[in-house]
């Protein structure tokens, strides 16, 4: 099986061109190749599939998390899919339409020397999924979060509102990953949840750490950055244009007056290979 390793701000996936390859058991494949010691190493597997309707989209993106579970949308992943289909000649324009389980997303491509280097994704209209904020008890800590739906579910924790986890962004990875499952698997979330921990720098700039459903801590999460910017807007903490600093790089989020969100960031191909 031929594959391509790509990342957006360090949020890395193994991509398989299913215009040419056939995958029989993607759930098990995702678990094996995501292993950073015995596999290729990644946050999961993304299949680039032919669209059901070529007039509707250029490709279909199906995400599998590192634990083999299906994902509905990935902001960093979809930028890389758009890069792949342009760089490999599946499309030739500077706009890509990628279908996902959360619907079709349109991506504007920034091209340099015939390769995509950045992409801007129309993430759709964000929606509040909870009260602003909602209280929750996790590991005997009384916390507050804002729930946001941007094609998948997010719980956004502003550290200024949660003194019990005020320093969570400085915790070592082992400590962060040890507590992460309590957030992801809380009974409040029937489908599990992605959790973002936000330090506000100004009304237009934040630091973010993320624990992703099915993958654990990742260096970046595009839908999480979008959800966090929208949650900050709902809470009156942030403006409509926000620079999000993640552990793997920066993303720009713009939210228009109708709450349609646009995410801009890099897409990088690392290497290609064959796995048997």
Residues with a known catalytic role: 74, 221
Paired with 117 in beta bridges are none
Cα 115 from Cα 153, distance rounded (Å)? 32
Q: Is 61 left (phi over 0), alpha (psi -120 to 50) or beta?
A: beta
For 118, the token pair is 């950045």
Taking CA atoms, 9 is separated from 65, 170, 200, 215, in Å, by 17, 19, 20, 16
Picking from 121, 101, 55, 59, the residue whose alpha carbon sits closest to that of residue 266 is 121
Overall residue count recorded for the chain in this entry: 276
For 210, the token pair is 């993320």
Cα 125 from Cα 225, distance rounded (Å)? 14
Q: Are 66 and 42 in contact (CB under 8 A)?
A: yes
**Apex CA 181: angle with CA 41 and CA 219, to 5°?**
40
Residues contacting 201, CB < 8 A, separation 6+: 207, 245
Taking CA atoms, 146 is separated from 30, 70, 149, 230, 232, in Å, by 30, 24, 10, 10, 9
Report, in angstroms and rounded to the nearest whole number, the Rg of the chain calculated over CA atoms: 18
């Amino acid at each position: 099986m031929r594959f391509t390793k790509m990342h957006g701000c360090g949020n890395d996936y193994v991509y398989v061109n299913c215009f040419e390859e056939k995958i029989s058991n993607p759930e098990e494949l995702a678990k094996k190749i995501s292993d950073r010691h015995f596999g290729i190493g990644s946050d999961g597997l993304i299949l680039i599939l032919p669209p059901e309707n070529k007039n509707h989209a250029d490709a279909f993106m199906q995400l599998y998390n590192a634990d083999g579970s299906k994902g509905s949308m990935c902001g960093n992943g979809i930028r890389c899919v758009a890069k792949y289909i342009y760089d490999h000649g599946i499309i030739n324009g500077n706009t890509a339409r990628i279908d996902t389980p959360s619907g079709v997303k349109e991506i504007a491509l920034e091209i340099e020397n015939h390769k995509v280097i950045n992409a801007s994704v129309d993430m759709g209209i964000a929606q509040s999924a909870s009260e602003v904020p909602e209280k929750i008890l996790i590991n005997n800590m009384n916390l507050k979060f804002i729930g946001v739906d941007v094609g998948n579910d997010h719980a956004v924790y502003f550290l200024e509102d949660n003194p019990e986890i005020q320093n969570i962004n400085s915790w070592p990875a082992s400590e962060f990953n040890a507590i992460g499952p309590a957030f992801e698997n809380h009974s409040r979330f029937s489908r599990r949840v992605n959790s973002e921990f936000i330090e506000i720098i100004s009304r237009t700039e934040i630091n973010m750490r993320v624990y992703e459903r099915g993958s654990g801590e990742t260096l970046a999460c595009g839908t999480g950055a979008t959800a966090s910017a929208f949650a900050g807007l709902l809470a009156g903490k942030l403006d409509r244009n926000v620079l999000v600093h993640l552990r793997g790089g920066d993303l720009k989020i713009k939210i228009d007056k109708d709450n349609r969100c646009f995410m801009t960031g890099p897409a990088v191909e690392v290497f290609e290979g064959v796995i048997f």
